[in-house]
Amino acid sequence: MHVLTEQFKLTIPNDTKAGQSVQERIVRRLEELDYPPRDVFGVRLALEEALVNAIKHGNRLDPDKSVRIDCRINAECVRIEIEDQGLGFRPEAVPDPTAENNLERPCGRGIMLMRAFMTLIEYNEIGNRVVLEKRRGQPEPECS
């Protein structure tokens, strides 16, 4: 079992600026724990996508709504739960943005990027809560 390095629960206003300060806090912690740069890149990107989805699509930019964040970070794994107050959605109903006919559509790539960069991404049944999990990757070999 790994020693829990940090755990926090936050409820932030429905504002992307507030989302970004949470993002910075998590990224800073990962850097302090020497996570490989690719992991930090992926977590920041996935966090950005998930928070924007929650604020913009879930809570529909409603200033009276908020987003709940539950984060646990240790030396081997980071797990972030993000929940909005929206009606949810069905992730499987989002069209594949890489399909030939959808390639020129400007939307629908966020979930795909989260899946690509995180070890695990899981939605609850109604789709208003997502769990993002990233396990520490292998350090890149040093150039000789």
- What is the binding site for another protein (CB under 8 A)? 16-17, 20, 37-38, 41, 44-45, 48-49, 52, 56, 97-98, 103-110, 112-113, 116
Shortest spacing between CB 9 and another protein, in angstroms: 24
Distance CA 71, CA 81 (A): 6
The residue assigned the tokens 């964040």 is 69
Considering the complex, state which of residue 48 and residue 70 has its C-beta at the smaller distance from another protein. Answer: 48
| Cβ 45 to another protein shortest distance, Å | 7
Residue 89 main-chain phi, psi, to 5 deg: -160, 170
How far apart are the C-alpha atoms of 83 and 21, rounded to whole Å? Answer: 17
Q: To the nearest whole angstrom, how small is the minimum distance from the Cβ of residue 3 to another protein?
A: 29
Q: How far is the CB of 77 from another protein (least distance, A)?
A: 21
Across the beta sheet with 129-135, the strand order is 4-13, 66-74, 77-83, 129-135, 120-123
